[in-house]
């Protein structure tokens, strides 16, 4: 693991690292925000942040304004990239497939299966790497759009690894929307029977309430993707059917952008802080 940058921020440090990923078969970059308490030697909890289509580790760290509140609450933030990268990694000219659009699943189809195993990377390889270099406490997970889909997947598939989950504008029912159908057909194959295992609404409907995590989702009612690509109502129905503890917050006038994320990131961080403090 090699540190490639470091910037002071609200008494803490924003760092970027690169490392060779065995799971993805390429070099990967990720960002870490260490709050002042961590720099002073305290063991602090951790929030994983998963970004959306076309993003990298930089979008959230530069646009969300999370560092001020994370510094106050003593929460570290880790933001991985959204896909494998490099000349040898399969890609597509479209913004919603290939590099920058890993969808946080494990691809099974050529040419994607050789590198696109973002679920294993985010949920297993990256946490193991962090554990070898840092002494973080309990973890929560969050994300935006495609990353919101990824955060929900991780929390639903591996609830033992997190204390809480949140999402902004998640692709909540990908098997039923164009973004998800395109990505799933490419990465998982043309048989839709393979897709529900990577759909948060399907997984939430079947979730065991005994292992369910506190879950907050924020959506903007002026989001142009709300009905066509996100479908939070499917997640709401799934939670109602299984008893999953979902808090769905709808915000009048807000869209899909980081203006929306920046407006409510403090609320989400304080949501996670309450559960991280109890873990």
Catalytic residues, by residue number, are 145, 223, 256
Closest C-alpha among 134, 137, 107 to residue 23: 107
- Locate tokens 């933030």: which residue? 77
Contact between 37 and 75 under an 8 Å Cβ cutoff? The reply is: no
Closest C-alpha among 185, 180, 224, 225 to residue 201: 180
Closest C-alpha among 100, 103, 118 to residue 181: 103
Burial of residue 34 (CB within 10 Å: 0-12, 13-18, 19+) is buried
Residue 148: strand, helix, or coil: helix
Closest C-alpha among 264, 69, 82, 32 to residue 166: 264
CA distances to 23, 50, 91, 174, 196 from 201, rounded to whole Å, are 27, 18, 28, 8, 9
Closest C-alpha among 26, 200, 28 to residue 126: 28
């Amino acid at each position: 693991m090699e540190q490639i940058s470091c910037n002071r921020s609200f008494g803490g440090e924003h760092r970027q690292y690169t490392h060779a990923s065995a799971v993805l078969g390429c070099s990967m970059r990720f960002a870490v925000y260490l709050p002042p308490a961590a720099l002073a030697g305290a063991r602090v909890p951790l929030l994983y942040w998963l970004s959306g289509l076309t993003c990298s580790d930089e979008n959230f760290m530069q646009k969300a304004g999370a560092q001020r509140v994370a510094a106050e609450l003593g929460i570290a933030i880790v933001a991985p990239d959204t896909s494998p990268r490099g000349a040898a990694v399969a890609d597509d000219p479209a913004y919603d497939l290939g590099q920058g659009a890993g969808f946080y699943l494990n691809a099974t189809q050529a040419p994607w299966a050789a590198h696109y195993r973002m679920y294993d990377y985010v949920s297993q390889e990256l946490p193991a790497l962090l554990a070898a270099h840092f002494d973080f406490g309990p973890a929560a997970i969050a994300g935006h759009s495609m990353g919101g889909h990824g955060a929900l997947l991780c929390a639903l598939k591996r609830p033992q690894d997190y204390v809480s989950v949140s999402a902004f504008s998640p692709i909540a029912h990908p098997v039923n929307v164009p973004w998800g159908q395109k990505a799933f057909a490419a990465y998982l194959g043309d048989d839709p029977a393979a897709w529900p295992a990577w759909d948060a609404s399907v997984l939430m409907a079947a979730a065991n309430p005994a292992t369910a995590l506190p879950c907050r989702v924020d959506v903007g009612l002026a989001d142009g993707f709300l009905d066509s690509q996100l479908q939070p109502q499917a997640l709401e129905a799934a939670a109602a059917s299984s008893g999953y503890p979902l808090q769905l917050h709808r915000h009048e006038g807000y869209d899909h952008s980081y203006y929306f994320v920046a407006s409510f990131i403090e609320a989400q961080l304080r949501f996670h802080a309450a559960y991280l403090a109890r873990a």
